[in-house]
């Protein structure tokens, strides 16, 4: 992403990978939990939101763009046009 290196945690990288694999489609918080955490986390946890906030901040700092969109009532997505 430009010339600045983007340092992500393993979980942030997993979230970004899943969003990119599903680019143009929304993914739910549950789907992200299932893909990135598997059976390791409580589905009522806010861990996805915490990691998502950190990931968004790092991407915004590195690129100046908000690549990850909230799809109200559905989840998150990266638009194909970005």
Check residue 1 and give its pLDDT. 44
pLDDT of residue 3: 62
**pTM of structure:** 0.87
Assess if residue 2 is contained within a domain: no
Cα–Cα distance, 69 to 38 (Å, whole number)? 23
Classify residue 66: in a domain, yes or no.
yes
Question: Which residue range(s) make up the domain with 71?
Answer: 10-78
**CATH at residue 18:** 1.10.10.10
59, exposed or middle or buried, with CB in 10 Å at 0-12, 13-18, 19+?
Answer: buried
57 found inside a domain: yes
55 within domain boundaries: yes
The answer as to whether 36 is a domain residue is yes
Give Cα 56 distance to the centre of its chain. 7
Q: What is the pLDDT along the chain (82 residues), one digit of tens a residue?
A: 456 678 999 999 999 999 999 999 999 999 999 999 987 777 777 899 999 999 999 999 988 889 999 999 999 999 887 6
The secondary structure of residue 37, as a DSSP letter, is I
The tally of domains found in the chain comes to 1
């Amino acid at each position: 992403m430009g010339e600045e290196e983007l340092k992500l945690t393993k979980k942030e990288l997993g979230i970004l990978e899943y969003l990119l694999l599903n680019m143009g489609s929304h993914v739910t918080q549950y789907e992200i939990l299932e893909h990135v955490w598997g059976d390791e986390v409580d589905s009522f946890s806010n861990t996805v939101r915490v990691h998502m906030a950190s990931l968004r901040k790092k991407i915004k700092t590195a690129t100046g763009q908000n690549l990850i969109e909230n799809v109200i009532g559905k989840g998150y997505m990266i638009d194909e046009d970005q």
